[in-house]
Amino acid sequence: MAEHESLEFGKADFVLLDNVSMEEFMANLKLRFEKGRIYSYIGEVVVSVNPYRAMNIYGRDTIEQYKGRELYERPPHLFAIADAAYKAMKRRNKDTCIVISGESGAGKTEASKYIMQYIAAITNPSQRAEVERVKNMLLKSNCVLEAFGNAKTNRNDNSSRFGKYMDINFDFKGDPIGGHINNYLLEKSRVIFQQEGERSFHSFYQLVKGAPESLLRSLHIQKDPTVYSYIKVGGHIKSSINDGADFKAVADAMKVIGFTAEEVQTVYKILAAILHLGNLKFGTDGDVTLIENSKLVAILGDLLSTKEENVEKAMLYRTVATGRDVIDKQHTDQEASYGRDALAKAIYERLFCWIVGRINDIIEVKNYDARVHGKNTVIGVLDIYGFEIFQNNSFEQFCINYCNEKLQQLFIQLVLKQEQEEYQREGIPWKHIDYFNNQIIVDLVEQQHKGIFAVLDEACMNVGKVTDELFLEALNGKLAKHAHYTSRKLSPTDSLEFADFRIRHYAGDVAWLTFPPLSLSLSLSLSLSLSLSLSLSLSLSLSLSLSLWSQEPYYVRCIKPNDVKSPLLFEHERCRHQVEYLGLLENVRVRRAGFANRQTYPRFLQRYKMISEFTWPNHDLPSDREAVKRLLQGCGFEHDVAYGKTKVFIRTPRTIFSLEEQRADMVGRIVLFLQKVWRGTIARMRYRRMRAGLIVIRAYRRYKVKSYIREVNRRFKNVQSMKDHGKHVKWPTPPKVLRKVEEALRSIFNRWWAWTLIKGLSPEEMLQVRAKVATLECLKGQRADLGLQRAWEGNYLKRDSPETASSFTLVSSDLQRKDKFMRVLFSSNVRKINHFNKAEDRTVLITDRHLYKMDPVKQYKPMKSIPLYNVTGVSVSPGKDQLVVFHTKDGRDLVVCLQGMTPAGESRIGELVGTLFSHFKSEKRKLQVNIASPIQCSLNGRKCTVVVEPKINQSQPNFTKGRSGYILTVPVN
């Protein structure tokens, strides 16, 4: 039984009814409908009642609830039957199909779309791009086929006016890889005629109402469907259908599927040609038939890519062969009208068949080899329009109802008759259940020499004038005693009104005039109509029936609750009639008395033998039947099974579910065991390969290492005696394993080479080297000219100002005696700012203990002395200028620009920074070096900035007062 539904919603499975009667069945069906439960079960058959409203039961969350679940683990739903068909296909590698049947307007088309949606959602978990493309095309094909094959009827706004059987092909992993669509019985008469309140096919209205103006102009189409004779009936109807939006959706779908722009344009031309064809009017001028609105002939010629005279000849003449002669015979105006309508129907049918064929060419499975890719399995979905009774019934309705008789016969044979016969054949005790077998109605239509098709074929092949009376007379003569046939002549008192004969179908009585336009057009279409009925019979009874017979069927039986499309109304008699002719009550009785599952003994053992120790891996019992008995007894299911001659019969699905659960558990354990053994084998093989490879790799590595070391030793053997101590020697390429070793060797060599160079230097030269290294550390990459290529003198005043050098020497000697400094680090002429914000020339002397500011004009009199421990950092700009700022702890920074260099333009900033930084480093003190522009500083406790600006026509650097500090203008080189 279905779980997760309380009894307030009725019985989810009709098999669980307390009493199997029509009253209880209908009461349960009505209760579930009123409670919003539109799906129910009869065993594995889904009964669906059209809710006539949108329901939030088809989203992703609902799909996840049914994915991988057994049929009765969740409440009844279309997704459950779709999942059951998918699992059967995947588990047993067997083709399956889902047959959706019911009256027109019962919800068959929507059911088929939801089933397709579910199958698309649960497949391709790995998101393979090709599988996603196939899924998308299969879903989009529905949109295109609905546009060209569906129409609004009085019963349904989106009624399928053709039969569709779609095969979805799956690979061995269960992912869709393609498909194929078979179409049956397109209702061609709808192209030229619709009942009051109905429309022609959606495609016409989508083109007229939704196409852009440019396209309509090229097709000579007006944006008003009432202008066109074939669709004006539907053009007056107000509907919720949005033809404009649907036109765009269909165009996008055709693009996704793979229709070219030229093909789509051709489709629009053909639709437009049919609309114009319906507006052709015929008149007579004496004995000559004429086209009254001849302007349309030119338009038709353009749209159909033919000459005007060809169009005119096709409309007004027919070709007749008399012996060896072929003559053109002119139509009467009435015959021309029928010929025009026949042409319109034929064009649309060929267009529809071409669209189906084009979709099949794109979605069919290509380059699939079962030997390489595994077996290609199929799920079929059949959606064919239901039984119909109209006021005026055409030949298409006759074929539709005949097709539904065949489907009902198939359902009876598979579900009722075949099941009971199988019980008898297998020797299972069984009480026969009566049911209505509609074979007698099928024979009425298709029986050779006596059926209606046979009479129609005979009428078509007769020579001479064929009339309604002759056809009716032939029917009455051959079918007078048939219980399901009557006519006006056979039953004069019967209320046939305007009909000529009536057939009592399984779903109701349907009355017909002779198939129009028999009396007027049979003589016109004799060559086309020969064996038409026979070909239809073969198409339905052979191709469709054989497809369904070859696959394991699952059923969705759709019920229409009322004729006014109300979501609240449940018409008891209307639904009761459908339950009766669908044979649902008989189906319940067979299910209650029968068995839910049956399998041959070998197949059952093949699937479940791992459950029992007596059958795994192979049994030694006398027969497979005994082995199955022992297995089921061990599981405790002997009370729920029966043993036939070749099959085991299991009564309830619960037993199957339990067997599947035990099998899944054992399969997991078996797989783990196999994985353990196989992984152990693979691991040992991999270990042996790795060990052998490791031995080879080690030997090779030793060889490469030794070779590399020998080569390094050979190349650097005599570097001590070389002039450049081996600087020119090229290092050999090391093996990967020695790359870090090579880096270490290079570092050792470089350190040795540097040591070799500097070991002979004097202490003064060593100080200079350390200062240059410090300069690189502080300024590399941040200033262009660091002065590293020249010798650093440090004390530049003697060179820059030779005329005053003696005075500077005396002052510096006095300062040395007074302050006890050991050496002069740096000296230079500078330009600085005084207390009055004016620039002055000064001299800077930096020793290992103090920084002195001197006045060169006053014999280098010391103006200011700053202990070096009070200096916290220096700042320089990134340009070529000689600006330097000495930052002090007391906020009285010294801002100077080096000047008066000899030679002119020599850069000494690198030397000053490096020398000072190296000295601080030797005394283990930190000197902060900043490279910035502008430079932030503090003068007399006040924060300010120093900006460097180039200036033309200026020979020496100079400071000026700026808005936020000072500007150092420097000459432009």
Query: Which of 67, 17, 8 lies closest to 47 in space, CA to CA?
Result: 17
Terminal CA-to-CA distance of the chain, rounded, Å?
A: 99
Better-scored residue on pLDDT, 867 or 623 = 867
Q: What is the pLDDT of residue 519?
A: 44
Closest listed residue to residue 103, CA positions, set 401, 437, 381, 392: 401
Phi, psi of 178 (to 5 degrees): 165, -170
- Residue pair 225/208 in contact by the 8 Å Cβ criterion: yes
Residue 201 clears pLDDT 90, i.e. is over it: yes
Buried b (16+ CB within 10 A) or exposed e, 458-488: ebbeeeeebbbebbbebbbebbeebebbbbb
Residues 6+ apart with CB under 8 A from 142: 112, 113, 116
What are the phi and psi torsion angles at 280 (to 5°)? Answer: -65, 135
Q: Which sign, positive or negative, has the C-alpha torsion 475, 481, 486, 490? A: positive
Tokens of 773: 């290294």
| SS3 assignment, position 703 | helix
- Side-chain half-sphere CA neighbours of 768 within 13 A: 15
Using DSSP bridges, classify how beta strands 39-42 and 935-939 pair: parallel, antiparallel or unpaired: unpaired
Find the catalytic residue in 234, 386, 794, 965: 386
Calpha distance 162→142 (Å, rounded) = 13
**pLDDT tens digits, one per residue of 139-182:** 888 899 999 999 998 877 888 888 888 888 888 888 888 888 88
Distance CA 282, CA 264 (A): 31
Q: Sheet containing 958-961: give its strands across.
A: 935-939, 942-951, 965-971, 958-961
Q: Is the dihedral of CA 947, 949, 954, 960 positive or negative?
A: negative
Mean pLDDT of 310-327: 81
Of the candidates 466, 462, 496, which has an alpha carbon nearest to the alpha carbon of residue 393? 496
Which of 156, 438, 529, 915 is flagged as catalytic?
A: 156
- Pick the more confident residue, 370 or 924: 924
* Known catalytic residue at 527: no
Q: Which of 40, 101, 104, 476 is catalytic?
A: 104
Task: Using the predicted structure, report yes or no on whether residue 456 has a pLDDT greater than 80.
Answer: no
What is the residue-averaged pLDDT of the chain? 84
Whether the per-residue pLDDT at 894 is higher than 70: the answer is yes
Q: How confident is the model at residue 499 (pLDDT cuts 50, 70, 90)?
A: low
Give the model's pLDDT for residue 216: 93
Whole-model pTM?
0.60
Query: Residue 276: pLDDT band by 50, 70, 90 thresholds?
Result: very high
Q: Which of 146, 388, 396, 586 is the catalytic position? A: 388
Nearest CA-CA partner of 505 in 596, 441, 451: 441
In this predicted model, what pLDDT tens digit does every residue of 380-399 receive, in sequence order?
888 766 666 666 666 767 77
Q: CA torsion, points 543, 544, 549, 551, in degrees to nearest 10? A: 100
Identity (one letter) of the amino acid at 906? E
**Average pLDDT for 311-324:** 81
Tallying the residues shown for the chain, one arrives at 973
Residue-by-residue DSSP string for 784-825: S---TTS---SB-HHHH-GGGHHHHHHHHHHHHHHH----EE
SS3 content of the chain, % helix, strand, coil (to 5): 50, 20, 35
Active site annotation includes 388: yes
Residue 471 has pLDDT above 80, yes or no: no
597-600 and 39-42 beta bridge pairing: unpaired
- Is 386 a catalytic site residue? yes
d(CA 329, CA 146): 40
* Confidence at residue 478, expressed as pLDDT on a 0 to 100 scale: 82
Over residues 190-202, the mean pLDDT reads 90
**Per annotation, catalytic residue among 40, 50, 109, 153:** 109
608 or 202, greater pLDDT? 202
Instruction: Find out whether 253 and 140 touch, Cβ atoms under 8 Å.
Output: yes
Beta-strand runs (E) in 395-541: 485-487, 501-505, 508-512
For the record, the structure tokens of 951 come out as: 């200036």
3-class state of residue 318 by DSSP? strand
Question: Dihedral of the CA atoms 899, 901, 903, 905 (nearest 10)?
Answer: -30
- State yes or no: is 160 an active-site residue: yes
Residue with tokens 């009876």: 412
Q: Is 156 a catalytic residue?
A: yes
Rounded to 5°, the CA angle 265-270-272 comes to 95
- Is 109 marked active-site? yes
- When pLDDT is averaged across residues 486-507 and rounded to a whole number, the result is 72
pLDDT band, residue 538 (cuts 50/70/90): very low
pLDDT band of residue 866 (cuts 50, 70, 90) is very high
Give exposure, 641-672, as e/b (b: 16+ Cβ within 10 Å).
bbbbeebbbbbbbebbebbbeebeebeeeeee
Choosing from 159, 183, 514, 828, the catalytic residue is: 159
- What's the pLDDT score for residue 549? 64
Which of the pair, 846 or 630, is modelled with greater confidence? Answer: 846
And the tokens for 118?
Answer: 């579910």
Catalytic residue among 160, 289, 438, 537: 160
